[in-house]
Amino acid sequence: MPQVRVQRLQQPPIGEQRVEIVERKGLGHPDSICDAVMEAAARAINAEYQQRFGQILHNNIDKGLLVAGRVRRRLGAGRVLQPMELVIGDRATFRVGRVRVPIKEIAVEAAKEWFRKSLRHVDPNRHLRYRVVLAEGSDELADIFKREGARESNDTSAAVGYAPLSETEQMVLWVERHLNSTGFKAAFPETGEDVKVMGIRSDRELNLTVAMPLLCKAIASEAAYFRKKAEIVEVLRRTLPPSPGLDNINLVLNPLDREGRGLGGMYLSLLGTSAEDADSGQVGRGNRVNGVIPLNRPVGGEAAAGKNPVSHIGKIYTVLSHRMADQIYRQVDGVREVYVWLVGQIGQPVDQPWVAVQLIQASDAECERIKQECTLVIDQELNRLNDFCTELTQGKYPVC
């Protein structure tokens, strides 16, 4: 097993620091769509490889772009003028011997299936066009999947994960998930899925800025828009979960709105996503694998979505570092907050990363015991790496 370096941090946990900023891009945000769709395409392609050949072959479906379309909105009506365009890249294995794998067809169908299940008002056949720019990978990277012994990394990459989530992170995550929940959409069917939440905590006060469109076909007048908006805000404020570390939570919805300005003063949508005409999306610009964008935390530079789950450490370590941090926080007494760093070198075994653990511990905790127990957790997780990669392949761990 690799050596584990353990360092004690002399600082308060993030939730006790004076300032914290956290963002979440929700289900219908163009960046989140790209992450989720590329991951869905990658899983479908990997499932096809496993069914045909008994193993995953070289692929990374992690370059994606959602190009905004054009719509015409009116109070009570609207129509699509130009469909959105989804660009799917990067590399895959198209053929083994004489057996051809229909990669492009699988990717497009996986994307369509995601839209059918996730965005109520997007018709994947009418409202989207698809451009697949996947191609064969390099000989050297493809050869990794043919080599005997432990699987080797196909990249040099670093990742960092942490635990636990702070109250601010939990609140931001909860708000978006609640607004996109089945129950909320049943109660407020006139709301779209493109929800974005920004949380700014100053000491014990949290300010939440929420963006969520109302569907133009369901809104008959400007007055109806602002009545519905006020109703949503009131209901949301009443249902916020308790947060003992926060004295006050302020919430504002769609602050760009201006009464009296007609369509220019209301956040309206035809399809429920700003990708219909306002904002394009790209893989890697959305949430980290734990669901938030934590501006006060160290984060890695890799986009996990779409990367292959057996040799690309940009995916494996990004998810695994969060799992390791969570296991340490849950299992090791005296740890208040923990960060796990994993670094791998291309060509080296995936289960032998460089490992560092940084932790904030209770003042009376036993330093040597904590170091030993942290090392034990890391060793246990690396020993079950093959099982972890299988779970990652099966979608057990979310990546956006």
Whether 205 maps to a domain, the answer reads: yes
Whether 40 maps to a domain, the answer reads: no
DSSP H stretches of helix in the chain:
30-53, 103-118, 139-143, 167-179, 182-187, 222-239, 313-331, 367-383, 385-393
Banded pLDDT at 365 (limits 50, 70, 90): confident
Whether 195 maps to a domain, the answer reads: yes
φ and ψ at 104, to 5 degrees?
-65, -40
Could you give the percent of the chain with pLDDT greater than 90?
94
Q: Which two tokens stand for residue 246?
A: 């926060």
**pTM: predicted TM-score of the whole model, two decimal places:** 0.96
Whether 5 maps to a domain, the answer reads: no
Whether 228 maps to a domain, the answer reads: yes
- Measure the CA–CA gap between 15 and 199, rounded to whole angstroms: 13
pLDDT in the model for residue 2: 83
Q: Which two tokens stand for residue 150?
A: 């432990």
Of the candidates 130, 155, 138, the one whose C-alpha atom is nearest the C-alpha of residue 308 is 155
- Measure the CA–CA gap between 344 and 246, rounded to whole angstroms: 39
Whether 36 maps to a domain, the answer reads: no
Of the candidates 398, 319, 285, the one whose C-alpha atom is nearest the C-alpha of residue 34 is 285
- CB-based burial label for 178 (10 Å; 0-12, 13-18, 19+): middle
Whether 297 maps to a domain, the answer reads: no
- Please enumerate in sequence order all residues whose Cβ is within 8 A of that of 199, keeping only pairs 6 or more positions apart, or say none: 20, 21, 22, 23, 168, 169, 171, 172, 206, 207, 208, 209
Number of structural domains (the chain) is 1
Place of tokens 């053929």: 95
pLDDT in tens, 148-206: 878 999 999 999 999 999 999 999 999 999 999 999 999 999 999 999 999 999 999 99
- Please enumerate in sequence order all residues whose Cβ is within 8 A of that of 16, keeping only pairs 6 or more positions apart, or say none: none
Q: Which two tokens stand for residue 188?
A: 């407020």
pLDDT in tens, 111-150: 999 999 999 999 999 999 999 999 999 988 888 888 887 8
Of the candidates 6, 2, 5, 15, the one whose C-alpha atom is nearest the C-alpha of residue 359 is 6
Average pLDDT taken over every residue of the chain = 96
Whether 310 maps to a domain, the answer reads: no
CATH (domain of 190):
3.30.300.340
- Measure the CA–CA gap between 270 and 379, rounded to whole angstroms: 51
Domain that holds residue 254: 16-24+166-277
